[in-house]
Amino acid sequence: MKIFLRKYKIVYYLLGLLITSSATAQMQLFDLKEIRLKDGPFKNAQDVDLKYILELNPDRLLAPYLIASGLPVKAERYGNWESIGLDGHIAGHYLSALAMMYASAGNQEVKNRLDYMISELAICQEKNGNGYVGGIPQGKVFWDRIHNGDIDGSNFGLNNTWVPLYNIHKLFAGLIDAYRYTDNEKAKSIVIKLGDWFIELIRPLSDEQIQNILKTEHGGINESFADLYIITKDKKYLETAEKVSHLAILNPLEKKEDKLTGLHANTQIPKVIGFEKIGVLSGDKKWSDAAEFFWENVTQKRSVAFGGNSFAEHFNPTEDFSGMLKSNQGPETCNSYNMERLGKALFLDKNDVSYLDFYERTLYNHILSSQHPQKGGFVYFTPIRPNHYRVYSQPETSMWCCVGSGLENHSKYGELIYSHSDNNVFVNLFIPSTLDWKEKDIYIEQSTKFPFENNTNLVLKLKKSKTFSVNIRCPKWAENFEISINGKIQKIETKPSSYVMLKRKWKSGDQISVKFKTSTHLESLPDGSNWSAFVNGPIVLAAKTSNKDLDGLFADDSRMGHVASGKYYPLDQAYAMIGEKADYIAKLKELGDLHFRLDSLELEPFFEIHDSRYQMYFQNYTKEQYKQKHDLLKQQEIEAMALEAKTIDKINCGEQQSEVDHGYKGEKSDSGYDDTKSWRSTRSYISYQLLNKNKSGKFLDISCIDEFNTDKITILINEKPAEIISLENKTIRLNIDKVEIVNIKIRSHDGSNSPRFHQFRILKD
């Protein structure tokens, strides 16, 4: 890593890109190997992650690659997303997780596995003969079509293959991490050949055709090519990084326009990490300005208290979070995984400590909380719906994206606890750990029980006394910030989101003690509605409310198993605050260890809450409005629950997971978001499969955004013309009586645009 960083820095300086005035103070990461966690919640998360990592079978993860290369498998591939089109995506994440876990924990078995997987991938690449290696089903046929310009891109289906570039980006990133963190030269060789194969793949394509490919979710493929440029210094990779950057996202960001509402959120964030990296490497500020604008909008207008964003995987309107409040599909963990990566990149680029306020908030409240602290399962959605809950993956099942990113999340907590400039140390996070900066003979041990105690202690061990600065982050949330050196209180000036520089001739055994206060406040949702969360310092508080009805708590391989599909508890029955918010803050009774009594509830750090329903957001009414607004909410809940109770299955068109889980296929199809509704249309055909469990549904309702003309489309159910019962209010009702599996296909006549379909819903009556 150190070598890699130096190279990075050389590139950085050679190109004369340094924008900041203090060239010598450019912030840099330490090598993960130089940091070790000490006992505490983060060390526990790392240990539990290591166990989960070792429970996975490398041969099962490799199977899609062997199959795609025509080689015999050594074990069956995993099920779930690993065998319905995203075959091989977890292996890419797994390489990254192994590489970072080896750097963080030094476990030899982890290193052996990484080396084994790289060797097997090299064999697959050799067999393919053209530099390609990947797990995508029927990869050869698929890529040949792309190479020949036969491209039909839609938001997650490219020629009806589920996000192939997203999938292969995971492999690029995994190989790059294997080289970056463990100096694996074979990984470097594979990824360079893979990069060259890709460049050849897109060589005959026009810019327009490439942008058509990029309509489909493609992870951070631009970032991978920027990384290849850092590794090789060959300009062709940076040019490719720019070429595979999605202009439909970049252009509005350059104009400082937020056009994100309705877009699949985690599709966009990795593209922006790529923009930021290209900005740094090319010296063209427009890229990093776009990234910064995106960051500001997402962190300030689109994120909830725990750092997550979006619901049902899509960005909601900034002025309306009600959809998220009602949904069992709250913010997705992958989004925060990527926002943390973007925050880290911006922090390093801009030398600006304020990026760490959001990074830290998300680290404690989303990332740390997204792993089961004993069993190790990973969380996909974190609902903010009061009195709902979360479900966890299991090693043998549930091969979701958030398992891939989850494996990585808990392997790299050391990455930003400290950072450095040429000679100086920066202490960014109050996490028990050691820093061993061998190059400078500086060793620091940090001991703290934060956030359960508001202090941290640092002890320096030096071979000989030397002059340098130790810079302590004064977070935005810290009050009465106080620093002592060897027991003597220092005169310091602090301001929120800054460093306190302690420069002196340090000697071995010197101690730095940091003390501060935190207080609890209520933080409103960004939409200005009357919902807010209790936050103490950087820690979001929530209350356990019930351990009943936790259906599917540990997920199997079933469809939508990543969603906590247990029943909704009515919103009007959740705890609400009536009157002044300040009275509720005053009411909190401290119970110790960040637990507080609030009437019948006990608030505690959200990251400690597992296997339980919980309430994180609370509604606040004035005394005058309470009855009327509460009655209205009650009525809305009754209607929503009645509709759900008679719903057997439903598809939200244009929403990736909903469509994938219903076997979406289509041609010449567009999707989008208008007037608070997602939709899909087609100029050829679309099809889905719904399940009419126990044949209990009688009707299939298709709701549209546009007026509907049945002369211009054909609707087939199980290959036969559908029986139309009614057509009113932009909803068409079809008969599905006594049909168990409903394969629905809609054809558009004469290549004209079909109406924009919003939702398919099977109803009992």
Task: Give residue number: closest CB to Zn ion.
Answer: 334
Q: How far is the CB of 164 from Zn ion (least distance, A)?
A: 17
Q: How far is the CB of 379 from Zn ion (least distance, A)?
A: 10
Q: Residue 580 contacts by C-beta under 8 Å, 6 or more apart in sequence?
A: none
Site for Zn ion, residues 328 to 357, rule: CB under 5 A? 332, 334
Q: Which stretch binds Zn ion (CB under 5 A): 51-59, 67-75, 400-408, 623-631?
A: 400-408
Q: How far is the CB of 381 from Zn ion (least distance, A)?
A: 9
Tell me the number of residues near Zn ion by CB under 5 A. 4
Q: Residue 491 contacts by C-beta under 8 Å, 6 or more apart in sequence?
A: none
**Of 82 and 242, CB closest to Zn ion:** 82
Q: Which stretch binds Zn ion (CB under 5 A): 76-84, 98-106, 398-406, 519-527?
A: 398-406
Q: Cis (ω within 30 of 0) for the bond into 451?
A: yes
Q: How far is the CB of 266 from Zn ion (least distance, A)?
A: 6
Q: How far is the CB of 129 from Zn ion (least distance, A)?
A: 34
Round to whole Å and give the CA distance between 447 and 450: 9
Contact 350, 289 (CB under 8 A): no
Round to whole Å and give the CA distance between 178 and 690: 41
- Residue 391 interacting with Zn ion (CB under 5 A): no
Task: Give the 3-state secondary structure of residue 593.
Answer: coil
* CA angle 425–430–436, rounded 5-degree value: 40
CA quadruple 426, 427, 432, 433: dihedral, nearest 10: 0
Q: How far is the CB of 724 from Zn ion (least distance, A)?
A: 38
Q: How far is the CB of 308 from Zn ion (least distance, A)?
A: 11
Q: How far is the CB of 676 from Zn ion (least distance, A)?
A: 24
State the binding string over 572-611 for Zn ion (x if CB under 5 A, else -).
Answer: ----------------------------------------
- Residue 403 interacting with Zn ion (CB under 5 A): no
- Identify the CA nearest to 565 among candidates 491, 644, 626: 644
Q: Which stretch binds Zn ion (CB under 5 A): 159-167, 402-410, 471-479, 615-623?
A: 402-410
Q: How far is the CB of 190 from Zn ion (least distance, A)?
A: 25
Q: How far is the CB of 691 from Zn ion (least distance, A)?
A: 24
How many residues in total does the chain contain? 765
**Of 192 and 273, CB closest to Zn ion:** 273
Q: How far is the CB of 457 from Zn ion (least distance, A)?
A: 37
Neighbours of 705 (CB within 10 A): 19
Which backbone phi and psi does 757 adopt, to 5 degrees? -80, 135
**Of 171 and 425, CB closest to Zn ion:** 171
Round to whole Å and give the CA distance between 6 and 254: 30
Q: How far is the CB of 239 from Zn ion (least distance, A)?
A: 30
Round to whole Å and give the CA distance between 48 and 30: 24
Q: Could you give the C-alpha distances from 153 to 85, 161, 170, 212, 264, in angstroms and in order?
A: 16, 10, 20, 6, 15
Contact 103, 95 (CB under 8 A): no
Contact 669, 686 (CB under 8 A): yes
Q: Which stretch binds Zn ion (CB under 5 A): 95-103, 157-165, 244-252, 401-409?
A: 401-409
Which backbone phi and psi does 590 adopt, to 5 degrees? -70, 130
**Of 265 and 742, CB closest to Zn ion:** 265
Among 190, 260, 402, 736, binds Zn ion (CB under 5 A): 402
**Crossing angle for the helix pair 265-282 and 247-254, nearest 10 degrees?**
70
- Residue 401 interacting with Zn ion (CB under 5 A): yes
Q: Which stretch binds Zn ion (CB under 5 A): 21-29, 325-333, 419-427, 479-487?
A: 325-333
Q: In the 8-state DSSP scheme, what is residue 258?
A: -
Round to whole Å and give the CA distance between 556 and 567: 18
**Of 290 and 334, CB closest to Zn ion:** 334
Q: How far is the CB of 558 from Zn ion (least distance, A)?
A: 17
**Of 332 and 360, CB closest to Zn ion:** 332
- Label each residue of 394-427 as H, E or C: CCCCCCCHHHHHHHHHCCCHHHHCEEECCCCEEE
Round to whole Å and give the CA distance between 152 and 158: 6
State the maximum Cα–Cα separation within the chain, in Å, rounded to a whole number: 86
Q: Could you give the C-alpha distances from 393 to 54, 186, 503, in angstroms and in order?
A: 15, 32, 47
**Of 332 and 655, CB closest to Zn ion:** 332
**Of 34 and 332, CB closest to Zn ion:** 332
Q: How far is the CB of 577 from Zn ion (least distance, A)?
A: 33
Q: Which stretch binds Zn ion (CB under 5 A): 75-83, 174-182, 218-226, 324-332?
A: 324-332
Burial class (CB in 10 A: 0-12, 13-18, 19+), 257: exposed
**Of 274 and 331, CB closest to Zn ion:** 331
**Of 98 and 334, CB closest to Zn ion:** 334
Query: Which tokens belong to 641?
Result: 């629950």
State the binding string over 272-301 for Zn ion (x if CB under 5 A, else -).
Answer: ------------------------------
**Of 401 and 713, CB closest to Zn ion:** 401
**Of 332 and 415, CB closest to Zn ion:** 332
Round to whole Å and give the CA distance between 315 and 299: 12
**Of 230 and 401, CB closest to Zn ion:** 401
Q: End-to-end CA distance of the chain, in Å?
A: 62
Q: How far is the CB of 596 from Zn ion (least distance, A)?
A: 32
**Of 324 and 577, CB closest to Zn ion:** 324
**Of 353 and 403, CB closest to Zn ion:** 403
The DSSP bridge pattern shows strands 617-621 and 589-592 to be: unpaired
Contact 91, 171 (CB under 8 A): yes
Binding site for Zn ion (CB under 5 A): 332, 334, 401-402
